[in-house]
Amino acid sequence: MALTDLIEEYLLLWILLSVGLGIAVPRLAVVTRASTLVLAVMIGSISLTLSVERFRQVDARALGAVLAGHVTMPFLAFGIARGLGLSPELTVGFVVLGAVTPELVTPVMTELADGDTALSTTALVVVGVGSVGFIPAVVAVLVGGVDVPTAPIVEQLVVAVVAPMLVAVGVRAWQPERVARYDAYYPSVSAVMVILIIGGVTAANAAVVRSNASLLASVGVGAVVLNGLGYGVGFLVGRRAARPARVASVLTVGMRDFAVAAALVIAAGLPTVASLPAVAFGVVEMATSAGLAKWFADDGD
């Protein structure tokens, strides 16, 4: 088995091990000091797989429906956090989680589920670019009573998300054949960055996790509910589309990029506990999305 296969096929296992190691070795929180760099590499490497040809194949109505579903996610996340009576810091964490880009591996999951990968890829890029304005706006609207520095959030989005994404897509368009030679490696590089940042963020929250099991349980419940509602919203907004677009809609809306959310919270200088929802959501999402992709694929046979 190639190293890339070992990383990608067992990503859930590596994430679980990373979370466990972070709890056991709090000193690994040092990884968060490089969160901006880790995030930029994670976004840039997976974005090198995005070709211009994919964007030309997309149905504009299906894309609009997916984007509408995406807009609802931070509001659902806010409602869940309030319903569970979570602290303002954790509420911010849930809102950021709901507002970030779809999970970077969504196009891969969509492909495995026999869905419309062009749609999921385009949605990922459009949401990534739009996040510069969207995330600070929803944070200000939903948790405006909490002292949340939006300027650092915007800065991190530009430096670590939008710029690497645009540069990578541009490089792919400029030298498509040369970049395509290494397509097998880009997802693995991104996956390694996911494992690193989740381990570091978990280590930063190790004291909270160890001392407050009930809090962790509440956050876990919130993560499960948000993930499930996301899949439901994705199905509703895409119910009139053809099956491939409907599959892409379910996965794109339901899968939130937990690693981006965690890294963004830390890099923006927010309290480390605000990244706990992203950690919990990552474990939940990786398990459910893999199962859902397999179910879709089997159902389509």
Spell out the residues 6+ positions from residue 209 whose beta carbon is closer than 8 angstroms to its own.
23, 202, 216, 276
Instruction: Dump pLDDT digits (tens) for 274-297.
Output: 888 988 898 888 788 878 887 887
Residue 174: closest CA among 57, 51, 55, 58: 51
| Distances from the Cα of 111 to the Cα of 162, 220, 247, angstroms | 24, 28, 10
Angle at 143 between CA 137 and CA 145, to 5 degrees: 120
* pLDDT at site 149: 64
* pLDDT at site 31: 87
C-alpha 185/C-alpha 102 separation (Å) is 21
Tell which wins on pLDDT, 106 or 62.
62
C-alpha 42/C-alpha 187 separation (Å) is 9
Please name the residue that has the structure tokens 């990534």: 128
pTM of structure? 0.81
* pLDDT at site 11: 76
What average pLDDT does this structure show over 206-221?
82
Kindly state the tokens that stand for 285. 């999402």
Contact present, 69 and 235 (Cβ < 8 Å) = no
C-alpha 131/C-alpha 137 separation (Å) is 9
* pLDDT at site 146: 63
Contact present, 115 and 248 (Cβ < 8 Å) = yes
Instruction: Dump pLDDT digits (tens) for 82-122.
Output: 999 999 889 999 999 999 988 877 877 787 788 887 888 78
